[in-house]
């Protein structure tokens, strides 16, 4: 029978030095992601103030993904696992180091090249209890941090289209079942079970469903997608400029104003109000879909001006966004930030997996 770890992420209020104090266990990349002792060297993350007046570090994510509610679904899932004979351990991680201690259980045997590699035959299974997609992303970011080799140490057995091995599958336990109806979080988009007993069944009886992962040069990852742009206090979208490229296609060169840009692995940012940005985002097709919304002034036959919204789309392996002026607010897997310099995302086909039936 399996050993199952039920992992919940705590907030920075639970323990000094935890989330938001260098550990960033609940969200975006920080200096901890540039630790030279790890296998890979990540880029520095943006640390400009966000629209909420915070910085795009673990503090913002911790405040958004803190789980202070009673964890009834966790207890119910543990009971269902125990009833099936699984050995269950519940862990609340309040720092990256505590997440890493859980993930170390998935390390494989020592390799001749000295790389830390996941065990493909592990008898331990991981359930991540999530109050937000940002929490799930936090765990996946630490998995990438643990197992992605530096470019100079790339092994021969790594797939040619990837920079990291197959990551250990995770089960997702949503802590707020109502969000499946009121908000299309990633679990809802993927059709994953939300009932604790059904999650337990997926862990013990299911198979890994492999999904694409977006890595970025800010040192983090994206599971669902990112939406760039902002609105004023009245809800009117603000214009901004950036050069947006998808592989060799240029969606905009930065000379014209934009209202929004969506970078989609899944469909969380497929629409904006009544505007369809992404038409067919698929988290398992090896492609990232990108769209920009551009206001275009046209004249009628009578010479009157009107503005129509033009949506340009492209699909590819990589995307870059280079702001032309100021700061561009964004949401990435629900986590707020501000882009102040070029940011690139690239797809890692089938790099992560969820337990599903």
Q: What is the DSSP string of 196-208?
A: HHHHHHHHHH-EE
Q: Considering the chain, what percentage of its residues have pLDDT values greater than 90? A: 71
Determine the angle formed by the axes of helices 133-147 and 96-103, rounding to 10 degrees: 60
Unique residue bearing structure tokens 């985002």: 281
Query: How far is Cα 349 from Cα 143, in angstroms, rounded to an integer?
Result: 16
Q: What is the DSSP string of 263-283?
A: EESSSTTSEETTEE--S---T
Query: Looking at residue 289, what is its pLDDT?
Result: 98
Q: Using CB atoms within 10 A of its CB, is residue 249 exposed (0-12), middle (13-18) or buried (19+)?
A: middle
* pTM, rounded to two decimals: 0.83
Query: Looking at residue 49, what is its pLDDT?
Result: 33
Length of the chain: 357
pLDDT in tens, the chain (357 residues): 799 999 999 864 333 333 433 344 454 444 444 443 346 543 333 433 333 333 333 333 433 444 444 489 999 999 999 999 999 999 999 999 999 999 999 999 999 999 999 999 999 999 999 999 999 999 999 999 999 999 999 999 999 999 999 999 999 999 986 554 445 899 999 999 999 999 999 999 999 999 999 999 999 999 999 999 988 888 888 999 999 999 999 999 999 999 999 999 999 999 988 899 999 999 999 999 999 999 987 666 666 777 789 999 999 999 999 999 889 999 999 999 999 999 999 999 999 999 999
Unique residue bearing structure tokens 């180091």: 97
Q: Tell me: the pLDDT tens digits for 95-118?
A: 999 999 999 999 999 999 999 999
Query: How far is Cα 293 from Cα 273, in angstroms, rounded to an integer?
Result: 12
């Amino acid at each position: 029978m399996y050993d199952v770890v039920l992992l919940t992420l705590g907030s920075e209020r639970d323990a000094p030095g935890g989330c938001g104090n260098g550990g960033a266990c609940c969200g975006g990349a920080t200096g901890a992601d540039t630790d030279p002792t790890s296998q890979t060297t990540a880029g520095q993350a943006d640390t400009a103030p966000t629209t909420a007046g915070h910085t795009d570090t673990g503090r913002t994510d911790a405040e958004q993904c803190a789980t202070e509610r009673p964890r009834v679904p966790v207890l119910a899932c543990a009971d269902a696992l125990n009833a099936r004979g699984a050995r269950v351990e519940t862990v609340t991680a309040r720092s990256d180091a505590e997440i890493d201690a859980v993930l170390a259980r998935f390390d494989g045997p020592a390799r001749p090249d000295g790389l830390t590699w996941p065990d493909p035959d592990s008898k331990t299974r991981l359930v991540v209890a999530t109050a937000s997609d940002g929490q799930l992303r936090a765990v996946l970011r630490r998995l990438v941090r643990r197992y992605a080799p530096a470019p100079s140490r790339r092994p021969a057995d790594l797939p040619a289209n990837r920079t990291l091995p197959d990551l250990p599958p995770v089960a997702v336990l949503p802590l707020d079942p109502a969000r499946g109806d009121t908000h299309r979080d990633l679990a809802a988009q993927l059709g994953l079970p939300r009932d604790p007993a059904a999650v337990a069944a997926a862990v013990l009886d299911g198979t890994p469903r492999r999904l694409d992962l977006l890595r970025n040069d800010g040192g983090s990852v994206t599971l669902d997608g990112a939406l760039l742009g902002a609105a004023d206090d009245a809800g009117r979208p603000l214009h901004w400029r950036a050069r947006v490229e998808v592989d060799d296609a240029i969606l905009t060169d930065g000379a014209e104003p934009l209202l929004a840009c969506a970078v989609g692995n899944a469909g969380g940012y497929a629409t904006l109000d009544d505007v369809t940005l992404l038409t067919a985002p698929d988290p398992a097709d090896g492609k990232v879909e990108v769209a920009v919304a551009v206001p275009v002034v046209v004249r009628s036959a009578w010479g009157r001006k009107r503005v129509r919204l033009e949506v340009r789309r492209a699909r590819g392996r990589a995307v870059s966004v280079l702001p032309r002026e100021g700061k561009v607010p964004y949401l990435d897997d629900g986590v707020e930030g501000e882009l102040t310099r070029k940011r690139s995302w690239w797809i890692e086909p089938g790099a992560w997996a969820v337990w599903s039936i």
